[in-house]
Structure 1
Amino acid sequence: MEDGALIVRKWEDMDIDILVKIFQSFDIFELTAGIGQGSILTLIFHFNLYVSDDQLTYTAERCPRLKRLVMPAWNRIKKTGICRAVRMWKDLESLTMPSIANPPYLMEEIAQNCKNFSELKIMGPCDIFFASTLVTFLPTLKVLSLRCSTIWRDALITILDGLPNLEVLNISHCLVIEVPPPPAARRIVRELDESILEKASRLREFYTCMDDSCIMCQRLEMMKGL
């Protein structure tokens, strides 16, 4: 090697911990400012990052060909912000997101704009309203993950009956809740009955864990106070 020659290292050869430290020092505007239009297909926000409407819109403009998006657990994004971003992501196929109080507007926006959308992962509870929204607006969904969440038993049945193209369903470490008419109290379903297992048998993959000895299942039950 000649004296004074530069040693060039590729980003992919750097230690992962060093890369994390580097990128943690930038905000979303700085991270995407130098990115070429259309070069990003996957975007994973840090779990605890706070993202605003302006930040999400700016990101969508810089990454119009995005196929996979993982949202943070907490955010300041309003209805107009997320809908504006989804309209730019025509190629979006996969979304991981926290639960939202009023899901129809987002699911309808995805249905209208993201024709290849097939995978949804929810970090939050799934009740009848949410399940019915999925069936109404995303009937061609192929992969659904509700892992480590709370799901109503009737909502689970609605999903199995109403999503005919579903291939993979993940309810590992979920609290499955039976919600009878008042005044009866809701209760935890400790074991899936034969009717649900029969409906799920058509799936290519069905992930579930309802083991009393499972630490993750125990932890979720304690967190929910059930």
Structure 2
Amino acid sequence: MDKAASSRNVSKWADLHRDILAMIFHKLDVRDIAMGASRVCISWFLASHNKTLWNTLDLAKVQQVEEGLSLRIIMKKIIKFFDINETRQNLRYITKLSQGAPKNLFFNLDAYIQEDDLVFVAERMPNIEKLVLPRWCFQSKKSYQFAFSQWRNLKTLIIAHDNLTGNFVFQEVGMNCNNLTNLKYFGDLRKNTAKLIVSYLQSLRRLSLQCSFVRNDEVLLLITGLKNLRILNFSHCKELGGERIPNQEEITIGNLKQAAIQNYVILLLCPKDNCRVCKAQPKFCMFWSYGSKIWRNDEIKELEF
């Protein structure tokens, strides 16, 4: 009797309309759909191909691990960080079901993405409009060229850049992504980086440097050099001393405000002396860990995810 009742219950679930199943699947994360729900029965497998389920792929949720500082958890995090095969396996399962539908793709801040991973994603998800790339993104110029040549519809780019991984190829972005109007840069904004952004991303209207290491000289270059810029988020940044040139006045926040007014740019600042976010910031060595907790939020709504 129990087996018969169980069989009838399974049959009822399997007979649900696909649109109803899709509404239920929306409550799951992408891995639960790909690795779980899609394998229950043929009806669920077909429902898991609903394109609305795959509009946004938030891989950060897939890669979340336990918090804590025990040796077991630390070792688990290290193994998870370098488990490239797991990342590729997740991507393979997901792309089989999503079939090129995703428009938003978010990697975890500390995901470890190699060249083949980015090429694989770009080939199978050409319609990306909003992209979040991780800190550890080891790519050759060739892989970046291919990826951004596929993502010509890209409108919003959010990158966590570590100089240990080399320079980010803003030139390839600028050459291929004419619709890009929003950029969030999280990292150490150096003079070369600011020059590249000005040289190749003139279409930018919104730029966020939230919680980055910055120098006022480079920020001034962005304000005056990006001719279509309308909003610059300068909140919660760590200001570093710029290169001192003899007989040249130091660039201050006042200079940045004046330049913003002259160039019709809205400059978003936080009250440094009374800002809870800034007061909570740790020393340099722990800054990346701290940033990972808040970088999904932003004062510019287009750059939240």
Give the shorter-chain TM-score range.
0.7 to 0.9
Gaps of 5+ in 2: 1-7, 34-61, 64-88, 287-305
SS in 2 for 1:48: coil
Structure 1 contact 152–176 (Cα < 8 Å) conserved: yes
Q: Which residue among 255, 270, 280 is the counterpart of 1:209?
A: 270
Give the structure 2 partner of residue 168 of structure 1: 231
- Counterparts of residues 152-191 of structure 1 (less than 5 Å): 152-181=215-244
AA aligned opposite 2:134: P
Structure 1 contact 169–203 (Cα < 8 Å) conserved: no
Question: CA 1:221/1:48 → structure 2, altered by over 3 Å: closer, same or farther?
Answer: closer
Cα distance in structure 1, aligned partners of 2:227 and 2:121: 34
Give the structure 1 partner of residue 58 of structure 2: none
Measure how far apart 1:100 and its partner are.
5.1
CA RMSD of aligned residues (A): 3.0
TM-score (ref. length: structure 2) = 0.62
Cα distance in structure 2, aligned partners of 1:143 and 1:80: 28
Q: Which residue among 86, 92, 96 is the counterpart of 1:29?
A: 92
- Counterparts of residues 1-226 of structure 1 (less than 5 Å): 5=12, 6-8=15-17, 9-14=20-25, 16=27, 18-19=28-29, 22=32, 24=62, 27-37=90-100, 39-99=101-161, 101=163, 102-103=166-167, 106-181=169-244, 192-193=253-254, 195-201=255-261, 202-203=263-264, 205-220=266-281, 222-223=283-284
AA aligned opposite 1:218: K
Measure how far apart 1:197 and its partner are.
0.8
TM-score (ref. length: structure 1) = 0.81
Question: CA 1:43/1:140 → structure 2, altered by over 3 Å: closer, same or farther?
Answer: same
SS in 2 for 1:34: helix
Question: CA 1:40/1:14 → structure 2, altered by over 3 Å: closer, same or farther?
Answer: closer
Q: Percent identity?
A: 24
Measure how far apart 1:15 and its partner are.
7.1
**Which of 1 and 2 has greater Rg?**
2
Structure 1 contact 154–178 (Cα < 8 Å) conserved: no
Query: Which of the pair has the greater relative contact order for Cα pairs under 8 Å at 6+ separation?
Result: 1
